Amino acid sequence: MKDPKDRLESLRAEIERRNPAQPEFHQAVREVLESLAPVFAARPEYAVPGLLERITEPERQIIFRVPWQDDHGTVHVNRGYRVEFNSALGPYKGGLRFHPSVDIGVVKFLGFEQIFKNALTGLGIGGGKGGSDFDPRGRSDAEVMRFCQSFMTELQRHIGEHTDVPAGDIGVGGREIGYLFGQYRRITNRWEAGVLTGKGTGWGGSQIRPQATGYGSVLFAAEMLRHRGLGLDGRSAVVSGSGNVALYTIEKLQQLGAYPITCSDSQGYVVDEKGIDLDLLRQIKEVERGRVSDYAARRGSAARFVPGGRVWEVAAEVAFPSATQNELGADDARALIAGGVKAVSEGANMPTTPEAVRLFQEAGVAFGPGKAANAGGVAVSALEMSQNASRSSWSAQRVEEELAGIMRDIHTVCQETAERYGAPGDYVVGANIAGFERVADAMLAQGVI
């Protein structure tokens, strides 16, 4: 039988050959495959031909044209995507991202990550992802509505509560989900609440869903620190981004007694020595749709805006990359380590480069990978699906308690799996292997499909 490492390397090379010019997807696959050699050595049943080849190939890839008119009557054409990657554990589940950087490689990377993230929740959901290269920034509500209606006119053919359940991601918040759901209902003539998650609480949405990803990232960091006999109370925190994930990361950090002092956007970052004023930041980002430089201008002398800077230049004890992929590189990791960082918890998807991850691990920093640390969002999405299925609505307290329990369980399974495979404290290995085992067992049981 071929050596597991050789087999995994051959598969990686073949995936890169068959999927050219998709560096994010290559990176995500490489990270998982690098963790699996000891699994194949310990569990030969996974060495059956075709298992890894199937798990790294999407079950379905959908690309479609999205034409729409702006407020001046000009017609624009964007490209829409939905990658339904793996449904062994349940219906495809994963967000929609509207951002100019979206292409098939980005969507495949996100969908591949989603397989294992969703498996870690234990909630019976498969992995998928989608989106468009449409940029909602600077567009009127009417323009966003027309785009969403055109996007859903095609997407509705491929989704459903028992098939594929999209949610929001970068560029897709409550406004966009509302427009998408309205068009789905209009076309299908069905009130199928379970077809989308992230809905408004007045029409099928769940309490705590907007907060869930940010909250979960902080809860995972708290578990990593607790396992080392430490806590979050009184610790300084650096947070990147200023979108939904970052805002609620800041909120939960403050609730647990930590001291978040930064936020950022594509123009630079703010450091606020008094601690982030969350009400002011929310007003600027969620109501006015402004920039973090506006926050610094209105906050006063305690805050300063650093144009074009890297938020990781700011020394802190805990760090939460919460913006986008590959935003934290090797030099950033060195700066954080020199500043005394003790834990890093990924709120975004794959925001830390492989070299930066290695540097954190070598320095003894507790590192929570996104497929574990930011699973809170999809976990509460699955709880929203449960509520929709029973036409019930849970209290915020119940949902938050469920979320806290899920994040504790994810931490435990990652920690125990890493120890079982001889890599204690390596949450990357633990998350990759634990997620893989759950999906692989289901695929083996269901046959070659």
In the numeric block, the tokens 């607790």 are attached to 226
Q: Say yes or no to pLDDT of 239 above 70.
A: yes
CB 442 within 8 A of CB 251: no
Claim to verify: residue 237 and residue 133 sit in the same structural domain: no
Claim to verify: residue 182 and residue 221 sit in the same structural domain: no
pLDDT in tens, 167-205: 999 999 999 999 999 999 999 999 999 999 999 999 999
Claim to verify: residue 123 and residue 228 sit in the same structural domain: no
Residues listed for the chain:
449
Q: Is the residue at 445 inside a domain? A: no
Q: Is the residue at 408 inside a domain? A: no
Claim to verify: residue 99 and residue 41 sit in the same structural domain: no
Q: Domain total for the chain? A: 3
Claim to verify: residue 268 and residue 330 sit in the same structural domain: yes
Claim to verify: residue 262 and residue 325 sit in the same structural domain: yes
Claim to verify: residue 303 and residue 338 sit in the same structural domain: yes
Mean pLDDT of the chain: 96
Strand partners, 271: 262, 304
The confidence band for 17, taking pLDDT boundaries of 50, 70 and 90, is very high
- CATH number reported for the structural domain that contains residue 239 in this entry: 3.40.50.720
Claim to verify: residue 299 and residue 229 sit in the same structural domain: yes
Which domain range does residue 330 map to?
212-368
Residue 2: predicted pLDDT? 67
Q: Is the residue at 179 inside a domain? A: yes
Residue 410: predicted pLDDT? 98
Q: Is the residue at 247 inside a domain? A: yes
Residue among 124, 48, 65 nearest 92 (CA): 124
Domain limit, last residue, from 350, 368, 386: 368
Active site residues: 129
Claim to verify: residue 80 and residue 15 sit in the same structural domain: no
pLDDT in tens, 256-311: 999 999 999 999 999 999 999 999 999 999 899 899 999 999 998 989 999 999 99
Rounded distance between C-alpha atoms, residue 364 and residue 360, angstroms: 6
Of 16-30, 40-54, 311-325, 404-418, least confident by mean pLDDT is: 40-54
Claim to verify: residue 23 and residue 133 sit in the same structural domain: no
Domain limit, last residue, from 32, 55, 78: 55
Mean pLDDT for 47-65 is 96
CB atoms within 10 A of CB 209: 25
Claim to verify: residue 240 and residue 361 sit in the same structural domain: yes
Q: Is the residue at 333 inside a domain? A: yes
- CATH number reported for the structural domain that contains residue 133 in this entry: 3.40.50.10860
How many CA atoms are closer than 13 Å to the CA of 306, on its beta-carbon side? 13
Q: Say yes or no to pLDDT of 373 above 90.
A: yes
Domain limit, last residue, from 141, 160, 191: 191
Q: Is the residue at 406 inside a domain? A: no
Residue among 141, 142, 152, 153 nearest 196 (CA): 152
Rounded distance between C-alpha atoms, residue 363 and residue 342, angstroms: 9
- Taking only Cα atoms into account, the Rg of the chain, rounded to an integer number of angstroms, comes to 21
Q: Is the residue at 448 inside a domain? A: no
Claim to verify: residue 77 and residue 42 sit in the same structural domain: no
Termini Cα distance of the chain:
24
Residue 361: predicted pLDDT? 97
Encoded tokens for 96: 């929609």
